Structure 1
C-alpha cells in the first residue's frame, strides 16, 4: 500500500469515526445525557437568637460538627433572671389578688342577701301603705316616702348584683383561672422562655461554618449571627439542556462524579425536575414587555434543573457548592446503562487533571 493509499485509508477511517461519534452524541444526548453543570446543594440555616443581649460565650469553632441540642453560643442572662423573678412575684401577687376577689365575692353575696331583704321589706311596706292610702287612712306623703325607699332598696339590690358579676368575671371558671393569674402566668412562661433562649442550640445535627462570632458581640433578636449546614440535607442539582431531559421519567437513574473525588462514581436517584427558571419569571411592574434580543446565529440552549438524591452518605470531602459531572440513563436499557458508565468514568478520570 502506497503512502497516498494509506493517507486516504486513514482519512476515510477518521471521517467514519467522526460521523459515528457525531451520531452517537446526538442520540446519546436524548437517551443518556451528560452535563458538567452540577453542584452540591444544601440547606443553609441562618441561626439567630430569639432574645437580645451581649454574647458571653461561643461554644463552637469554625467548621465544627455538632449534634442537635448542642450549645452554640450564650447570651448574657442576668436581665432575664431578673425578669423571671419579677414574673414569679407578679404571679404570687395575682394569686393573692385572686384570694381577695374570692373574699369580695363572699361579701358581695352577703350584701346581695341583705339588699334583697331590705328591698323585700321596703316593697311590702310600700304595698301596705298604698292600700291604706286608698282607704284615706294615711297621707299621700307617707306613700311617697315608702315608694322612694322601695326604689332605693331596689337600686341597691341591682348594684350589689352587678358588683358580684364584675367580681365573678375576674375570677374565671375555677380557682387559678382569674384574669390576673392568667396574665401573670403568661408573663412567667414568657420570662422562662426568654431565659431558656439565652442559650442558642443547634437545630439539628450539622456543621457550623463561616463562623465570625466573638464574645462581646451585641446580639439582636432575629438577626442572624451564625451559619449552620444541617447534616444529610445535601443533594446534587444538575443543569441539563432542556431537550436532553425531555424524556426523563421515573425509570431514569443517575451516575455522578465529583471534582473533589477523582476516579469515584456514585449512584443517585432522580428526585425531581424544576418547573421553571428565573429568566422566565414575571414580576408585575406596570412596564411594557422587554423583548430579548440575540444577535448570535445559534442561541444558547435553555437549561433546566434536575435534582438528585442518594440513599448513601455523600463523601465527607464535599461541601455545599462542590462541582459535579452527571449522566442520566434509563435503568431498563442495558446499552445506555453501559454507555453511561463509560462516559461518567472517563469524566471522573479527567478530574485527576482538571
Structure 2
C-alpha cells in the first residue's frame, strides 16, 4: 500500500521540478532576449540647441537686464551696450549726407545751366558737368548707406534673446567691455529639447523612422513618449587615422572581443508632462516601442 503513495509523491515532485525548470527557462529566455536583442539602451542623453549670444557691435555694457539661469522669451532685452558712440556716428553720417546732398544739388544746377546754354558751351564742358552730377549722386548714395549702417549699429547696441529658453550660469555684468562677434552668454532653446539614444549596431534592424519611443529619465518615474526622428548615417572610425603622407594609417591591433558600435538615434519628444524637468545632458533610458504585427514583444518600460 505504500508503493503507490510513494510513486504519486515522486511524480508530483518531478512534475513540480519540471514546471519550475520551464518557468526558469522562460524567464531566462526573456531576460536574454531583452538584453541581447531588444532595441533599448541606457546610454541616452537629453539634448538641446545651445545658442551662443554674441553682440554685433563692440562697447561697454550699460545695463544687464537678466540674471544667471533665468528663463527668457524671444525678443526680450538681455543687455544694452552704451549707445553714445553710435549716436555720434549717426549724427556724423547724417551731416556728411547733407554735405553731399548740397554738392549734388550744385552739380545738377551747373549741368542744367550748361545744357541750356549748349550752343555757347563746348560739348566737353557739358560732359564734365554730367560726370560731376553722376559722381555726386554716387557719393550721396554712399552717404545714405552710411546712415543706414549707423542706424543699424545703434539698433544692435540693444541685444535681445533670439529664442525662448534659459540662460547659462554666466551672464555678463554691468561695465564689462564686449567685442563684436565674441560670445558672452549661452541660451538653451526650450523648443529644441530632444533625446539622443546611442544604440548598438546589432539592434538597428528593429528601429525605423517614425517608430514610437518610450523614455525614462534617471531619477524620474514618469515616462516620456516620442518617436524616432533620424538615425545617424556616419560615425567616427577610431582605428583609422591619416598618416603624414596622407595615406590611411590603420591600427594593426585587433581584439578578439568585438564590441558593437554605438549608433546615435535622435528621438523627438511628442509631449512633455507637467513637472518633468528637462536638462540638457541628463541621462535617459530609451526603449523603442514594437511595431504592430511584430512577433517580438519587447517591454516598453525601463530596463530591469
- TM-score computed with the length of structure 2 as normaliser: 0.85
Task: Report the CA distance shift for 1:158/1:64 in structure 2 as closer, same or farther (over 3 A).
Answer: same
Alpha carbons 2:226, 2:268 under 8 Å: kept: yes
Task: Report the CA distance shift for 1:331/1:225 in structure 2 as closer, same or farther (over 3 A).
Answer: same
Match status 1:46 vs 2:81:
no
1:299 match: secondary structure: coil
Equivalent-residue separation in structure 1 for 2:210 and 2:173 (angstroms): 51
1:246 match: secondary structure: helix
Equivalent-residue separation in structure 2 for 1:207 and 1:39 (angstroms): 18
2:95 match: secondary structure: helix
Task: Report the CA distance shift for 1:215/1:201 in structure 2 as closer, same or farther (over 3 A).
Answer: same
Q: Using the TM superposition, give the Cα deviation of residue 201 of structure 1 relative to its aligned residue in structure 2, in angstroms.
A: 0.4
Equivalent-residue separation in structure 2 for 1:197 and 1:73 (angstroms): 11
Equivalent-residue separation in structure 2 for 1:86 and 1:316 (angstroms): 54
Equivalent-residue separation in structure 2 for 1:65 and 1:103 (angstroms): 60
Give 2:112's match in structure 1, choosing from 101, 106, 115: 106
Equivalent-residue separation in structure 1 for 2:199 and 2:150 (angstroms): 53
Q: Using the TM superposition, give the Cα deviation of residue 161 of structure 1 relative to its aligned residue in structure 2, in angstroms.
A: 3.2
The residue that corresponds to 2:39 in the other structure is 33
Aligned residues, how many? 294
Equivalent-residue separation in structure 1 for 2:50 and 2:112 (angstroms): 61
Match status 1:167 vs 2:173:
no
The residue that corresponds to 2:3 in the other structure is none
Equivalent-residue separation in structure 2 for 1:291 and 1:247 (angstroms): 31
Task: Report the CA distance shift for 1:162/1:225 in structure 2 as closer, same or farther (over 3 A).
Answer: same
- Of Structure 1 and Structure 2, the greater helix share is in 1
Q: Using the TM superposition, give the Cα deviation of residue 179 of structure 1 relative to its aligned residue in structure 2, in angstroms.
A: 1.0
The residue that corresponds to 2:284 in the other structure is 324
Task: Report the CA distance shift for 1:260/1:158 in structure 2 as closer, same or farther (over 3 A).
Answer: farther
Give 2:158's match in structure 1, choosing from 175, 199, 219: 199
Alpha carbons 2:241, 2:248 under 8 Å: kept: no
1:270 match: secondary structure: strand
Alpha carbons 2:59, 2:82 under 8 Å: kept: yes
The residue that corresponds to 1:209 in the other structure is 168
Match status 1:91 vs 2:91:
no
The residue that corresponds to 1:254 in the other structure is 213
Q: Deviations along 1:128-179, whole A, 9 cap, x unmatched?
A: xxxxxxxxxxxxxxxxxxxxxxxxxxxxx232232133134236xxxxxx21
Alpha carbons 2:213, 2:287 under 8 Å: kept: yes
Equivalent-residue separation in structure 1 for 2:242 and 2:18 (angstroms): 56
Alpha carbons 2:229, 2:267 under 8 Å: kept: yes
Equivalent-residue separation in structure 1 for 2:142 and 2:266 (angstroms): 50
1:340 match: secondary structure: coil
- TM-score computed with the length of structure 1 as normaliser: 0.74
